[in-house]
Amino acid sequence: MSATSPRSALAIAAAVARGETTAMAEVEAALARIAAGDGVINAFTAVTADRARHEATLVDQRRARGEKLPPLAGVPFAVKNLFDVAGLPTLAGSRLHERRPVADCDAVLVARMQAAGAVLVGALNMDAYAYGFTTENTGYGPARNPHDTSRTAGGSSGGSAAAVAAGMVPITLGSDTNGSIRVPSSLCGVFGLKPTYGRLSRTGSYPFVASLDHLGPFATDVADLAASYDAMQGPDAADPACGQRSAELVSPGLGRDADVPLRVARLCGYFDRWASAAARAASMRAAEALGAHRTIELPEVERARAAAFVISAAEGGALHRATLQRDYDRFEPHNRDRFLAGALTPASWYVQAQKTRAWFAEQVRAIFADVDVLVAPATPVAATLLGEEWVELGGERLPLRPSLGLFTQPISCIGLPVAAVPIVGAGLPLGVQLIAAPWREDLCLRAALQLERAGIARCDIAGG
Amino acid sequence: MISDTSLDEYVAAAAGLQGFALDADQLARVQAVFRRNAAIAELVMGFDPGESAEPAPQFRP
């Protein structure tokens, strides 16, 4: 990248608060980085320069008046284009949505980031309707991996991870139904957080699978991840899945508790069987650094993944049935037949999948009685070439695109919080999942911080 | 295990029932996807989670 890479979000906010820089200068720098790099990376589908300059002006005026600034004041951020942004059509990765009316207000999480002082600079590329793991979007082109632009950024929040990995912005938001935060985090080498199902409001975001959809942040370090997560917490009665819990802030205790030992176990069995040697090594390295002294084999993981698959097919298919009837020929070719087949799912499959999910959640919940954090690979392989169709794993030749979710689907199926953490190593980035009991994002982030401080986890800005 | 022929017949009938007017190529592609879905669905349909695992109306982790 020709423009300078950004500092961390918290470093920017601190510098703005001290008057060492201005929100406007930070926004202009971010816009310059996007202009310099996005022609190749293709992370952005819209750049909201006018809005960003207006918001930056407001932040700088507050400082000039001597007001105490909020925690992310002047921090540029961007969001997957399934978040409502006032004045833009909510694309959800689909050219068909360009005809829809523009959003009349921001999604709740966008508004909460703005209330925390962050400045929105744009909307980001994704797999159409979030049904994919590679962001090979026919309508908008692929998001490219900043570490090797011939390779996928992962998906479906590929633009979100690529924008952070390329150093365009320090924080982005994405969604994760079956792995769409964790897969691109792993392949682009950035930190990501998929909170507990129901933790963060989804109001004003375009759904994929209502009973599995989560939203969360990407960042270049753990402190930024925690700060953005904290900024977005809080109940929302308008989202029926959103818990009515008060915000449980993690940032204040993160550094204080960082050295408190955690009870850590590494997931084996299914996770070892399907992982490449590099992915298995990353998981073992992280587990060892966290002092893991045991391995655990989750029961019936394949069935849990199958349950997530069936639920996704059925709910996603039902959501898009009318559009497919009307616009099949203009629907994203990569997933229109999958959505349509999903719309034909027998009800008995769907109900049985939900029952399997509930059973699996109960089994895994019991494990957390004597374990704080489970470690597993985030993806079975590092970023593959764009257009790749097959991958060899566990001695079998498997279709690549669905296989990227092998390790994430069983976990999001039961709504557990997960920090996706990039593990330092040779070659292309690879991440691990740090998984905790429901509502214990603090433990995921504490483990992530321990790895970061030990030099095991780090986000390297591409070309930086 | 349900035969591919039965699955294909189901897809043709269900697509018609839901108002999809698919040509032969489109139908063939959807049938191929549905056969893969059925193979995956067998993993949950062949599992007995017990009577206590009734799905909640709204899932809570």
Q: Is the pLDDT of residue B55 over 80?
A: no
- Mean pLDDT to the nearest integer, A113-118: 98
Beta strands in A230-364 (DSSP E): 264-267, 294-296
**Interchain contact, B41 vs A310, CB within 8 Å:** yes
Cα separation, A312 vs A214, whole angstroms: 13
Sign of the CA dihedral with A396 first, then A402, A408, and A411 last: negative
What residue spans of chain B are helical by DSSP H? 4-17, 24-45
Per-residue pLDDT at A67: 98
Per-residue pLDDT at A2: 38
Q: What is the mean pLDDT of chain A?
A: 97
- Mean pLDDT to the nearest integer, A307-317: 98
What residue spans of A23-155 are helical by DSSP H? 23-41, 49-64, 108-115
A355 catalytic? Reply is: no
Query: Residue A163 — φ and ψ, nearest 5°?
Result: -65, -35
**Interchain contact, B41 vs A349, CB within 8 Å:** yes
Residue of A344, A348, A363 best to disrupt the B interface, most CBs of B under 10 A: A344
Portion of chain A with pLDDT greater than 70, in percent: 99
User: Which chain B residues are closer than 8 Å to A313 by Cβ?
Assistant: 37
Count the neighbouring beta carbons within 10 Å of the beta carbon of residue A395: 6
Cα separation, A365 vs A438, whole angstroms: 8
A180 catalytic? Reply is: yes
0.90 cut: is pTM over it? yes
Band (A1; pLDDT cuts 50, 70, 90): very low
**Interchain contact, A341 vs B14, CB within 8 Å:** no
Q: What angle do the packed helices A23-41 and A9-18 form, to 10 degrees?
A: 150
Q: ipTM > 0.85?
A: yes
- Mean pLDDT to the nearest integer, B21-44: 97
Of A306, A309, A340, the CB nearest to B20: A340
Q: Is the pLDDT of residue B54 over 70?
A: no
DSSP string, A199-211: SS--TTB--S-TT
Of the residues A180, A186, A201, A283, which is catalytic? A180
User: Which chain A residues are closer than 8 Å to B19 by Cβ?
Assistant: 325
pLDDT tens figures, A242-285: 978 899 999 999 989 888 999 999 999 999 999 999 999 999 99
pLDDT tens figures, A384-423: 999 999 999 999 999 999 999 999 999 999 999 999 999 9
Band (A426; pLDDT cuts 50, 70, 90): confident
Of A198, A309, A341, the CB nearest to B30: A341
Band (B61; pLDDT cuts 50, 70, 90): low
If you count residue pairs, one on A and one on B, with CB atoms under 8 Å apart, how many are there? Answer: 103
Of the residues A8, A94, A156, A185, which is catalytic? A156
A156 catalytic? Reply is: yes
User: Which chain B residues are closer than 8 Å to A353 by Cβ?
Assistant: 41, 44
Q: Is the pLDDT of residue A5 over 80?
A: no
Closest chain A CA to residue B16: A344
